[in-house]
Chains A and B, each alone.
Chain A
């Protein structure tokens, strides 16, 4: 790196290149509308400065046609790029269904990542190249923001609510990751590394970092440890809804509304059980907000999701992706 000054960020994805082109195109478009202002200003200043002979008769003091021209033309120009940018934005915001899923937990001042295979890392994130990766993120405390400059994407990470982001890196390499939302004392130290690996290297990494149990299997252990099975198990005495096949289904709530059981719903059911009570059940489920951190919740959610699979056994192999 030494010896030259970097003036343009690396492009680690196809999307990053598209954003750069958008920015360059927009710069060109804006130049078309702005450069005339500078040019004419200087021409007029030179030509009409006091003491300089110039024709000054019939001074105009307004013209509707001129006004409309410089209102409408730049706006239409900008709209074209607005549409292009909105399409890119849409693409960046809607993850493809087959994306590899990774759980992100932020807390003052570190990043924690959990892979479906059960691998866990702190302040480093390994992902395969040429494959969409979807991050489901939540914060333990204040708002943070996960920022990948080389991918041109960031997303705030909120307490109490999952947010998501996805990308597809193309070029293997090591890239900087920052926290972009100011989060207190060591905000500047809340950085991480993104390791984009070729598919075969990634496979090797997964095996090397294997924890022995997949995320869902870890969740299953928690499910027993925290006594969930005592109520939700098949043989329990308390009347609690069965959780098999719940994920992705529409649930009828006691207040008459319906909600799709997604990650956010499962999380809220564990931490804020009184928020959405299932129709036909007593609100007896205790909250786990004080005994469980977001990482544990993420594992439980992974387990509950695995129960939606037609296969009875939760996924165990690290090479297995969750779909």
Chain B
């Protein structure tokens, strides 16, 4: 094995110690500090969105609408969706871990445009806080999907304000995407060829392509909604001469690729966690790498699967259905390759690995149920029911958040220089898995039974399953809050982390924990492959 000089002893101060005070954080251009800023931001938004989710689940314990008014309920799920999608999930892994890790993984000192990076954070915060204010003080009741003409002509909430917030945050996405793409193209260390890149970098690259190509479509669509709402310019409302389906086409043209913005980064994380836990090179590196790119490309061609019953042409639906089957192949490739990676591995089962397993389990259920929804005749029944709700929560919440937490635990020593308490990490991972399934599995049954989504009250027949779901949600809430406490605890009391506590390959594990301001103390030259683990297992482990 080839070792780079790490020189942890003679090292200059770490990025955390380099400067102190609020100003040193708010005006930093260091990608690592910006990543920490993002981490604080998305954690905040995650718990705000979670609060709304709790309200929703409590309301649904009984079949009557008793806790909230109908409008209150509609506002709660709109707030939940908007905050979770645009201010937690989309920035979560790309902006936190993409920011922190990509330069380290490619052997660079920073991203290509450090100032742009800071601006992106401010855009997210500005858009986010403004949106939150609008959602809390005014309230919007359109759902995160803003379907027209409800949102343009019939909504009694602050649609335009929320749209402005999301619009601004969209630029944060676009700028982050550009920054990552340019960095990956131009800042790779000598010897770091494309096929030596860690798979996390590949997935960030694919994600960035989507961020840059899809987000502008959302921006334009939102501007059109605002124009119709404010000035009555007929784009979507047929009474003004608009087309009632145009909005859905535009929205899903963005939003289906956007769901891959939420999941591809988590897939990249899991590729890292599994190889590092297995101490073995990933099985089928190129297939896993290219499957990310394939997802990014095919993901742009399946938006119509959200519109099978919307009134689009029957033949278009058939094509979209077929393409949706196609887009699941690259995802399946990943799952199979992860499994194969464990073969003949030398596996340590620590918390990050448990999170990776949680990801794989929940992702498979979510992906397979996505295929049910892509199956035309099944979707005529399941569309807009709780089946869909369960499907996308399995992926975006179950899997993507497990990926986020997995990354948080795995790279926590690198980011903070401290180890998290291992036992608590495992407890959290297992609780999340159990709480999650109890919350969302009943929703598949509910949906197939015919329970429509976005219902404030419902027939009593459905109550049992709703109660199960809410019970699970209370476990899940505790499990998601748990890391907040023990990770905070570890900042002070955690064991100090070594340079490479996991025995993992990868450039980020060859510099100090936490890394110095310029990431590496000596110039990086890469003369080894990705996942450079011994091809034969060490004898003494037998």
Instruction: Determine if A182 and B450 form an interchain contact, defined as CB atoms under 8 angstroms apart.
Output: no
Contact with A along B21-54 (1 / 0, CB 8 A): 0000000000000000000000000000000000
Q: How far is the CB of B368 from chain A (nearest CB, A)?
A: 5
Contact of B333 among A57, A67, A153 (CB under 8 A): A67
**A5 part of interface (Cβ distance < 8 Å):** yes
Give A37-85 interface residues, CB cut-off 8 Å to B. 37-38, 40-41, 44-45, 48-51, 53-63, 66-67, 70-71, 74-75, 78-79, 81-82, 85
For A185, give its contact among B141, B385, B445 (CB under 8 Å): B141
**Complex contact B457–A188 (CB within 8 A):** yes
Are A23 and B372 in contact (CB-based, < 8 A)?
yes
User: Taking the complex as formed, is B4 at the interface, i.e. its CB lies under 8 A from any CB of chain A?
Assistant: no
Given A37-B364, A41-B357, A55-B344: A81 touches B454 (CB 8 Å cut-off): no
Nearest-CB distance from A65 to chain B (Å)? 11
Distance, CA A31 to CA B236, complexed state (A): 42
Q: How large is the interface on B (under 10, 10 to 19, 20 to 34, 35 or more residues)?
A: 35 or more
Q: How long is the Cα–Cα vector from A182 to B74 in the complex, in angstroms?
A: 9
Whether the Cβ atoms of B332 and A59 lie closer than 8 Å is: no
Are A56 and B541 in contact, CB atoms less than 8 angstroms apart?
Answer: yes
Q: Which of A140-148, A201-209, A216-224 contacts B (4 or more CB under 8 A)?
A: A140-148
Q: Is B340 an interface residue (CB 8 A)?
A: yes
Q: A34-B368, A71-B329, A182-B143 are in contact. Are A1 and B380 (CB under 8 A)?
A: no
Whether the Cβ atoms of B154 and A48 lie closer than 8 Å is no
Say whether A86 contacts B376, CB under 8 Å.
yes
A interface, size bucket: 35 or more
Contact, CB under 8 Å: B287 / A67? yes
CB of A305 within 8 Å of the partner chain: no
Among B143, B239, B322, B349, the residue within 8 A (CB) of A82 is B322
Q: Contacts A26-B378, A149-B449, A182-B147 known; A50 to B372 CB distance under 8 Å? A: no
CB of A309 within 8 Å of the partner chain: no
The answer to whether the Cβ of A158 comes within 8 Å of any Cβ in the partner chain is yes
* A20 CB, nearest partner CB in chain B, Å: 9
Decide if A37 touches B380 in the complex (CB within 8 Å): no
Residues of B within 8 A of A316 (CB): none
Question: Are B375 and A81 in contact, CB atoms less than 8 angstroms apart?
Answer: yes
A5 and B377 contact, CB distance less than 8 A: no
- Chain A, residues 128-139, CB within 8 Å of chain B (1/0): the string is 000000000000
Q: Are B449 and A70 interface neighbours, CB within 8 A? A: no
What's the least CB distance linking A55 to chain B, in Å?
A: 7
**Contact between chains at B339 and A92 (CB < 8 Å):** no
Contacts of B70 in A (CB 8 A): 185-189
Q: How far is the CA of A34 from the CA of B368 in the complex (A)?
A: 9
Distance of A188 Cα from B326 Cα, bound (Å): 35
| Minimum CB–CB distance for B71 against chain A, Å | 5
Asked if A184 and B155 sit within 8 Å, CB to CB, the answer is: yes
Query: Which residue from chain A places its CB closest to the CB of B465 in the assembled complex?
Result: A5
A–B pairs, 23, beta carbons within 8 Å: A7-B449, A9-B448, A19-B380, A19-B381, A41-B342, A44-B342, A44-B345, A50-B279, A53-B542, A61-B282, A62-B286, A67-B333, A70-B332, A71-B332, A86-B321, A108-B154, A147-B385, A147-B450, A154-B380, A163-B311, A184-B74, A187-B454, A188-B70
Task: Give 8 new A-B contacts, CB below 8 A, not counting A44-B347, A63-B284.
Answer: A7-B449, A45-B349, A48-B346, A60-B283, A85-B376, A152-B380, A182-B147, A188-B454
Residues of A whose CB lies within 8 Å of any CB of B are: 1, 5-9, 18-19, 22-23, 26, 30, 33-34, 37-38, 40-41, 44-45, 48-51, 53-63, 66-67, 70-71, 74-75, 78-79, 81-82, 85-86, 88-90, 92-94, 108, 141-143, 145, 147, 149-150, 152-156, 158-161, 163, 176, 178-189, 289
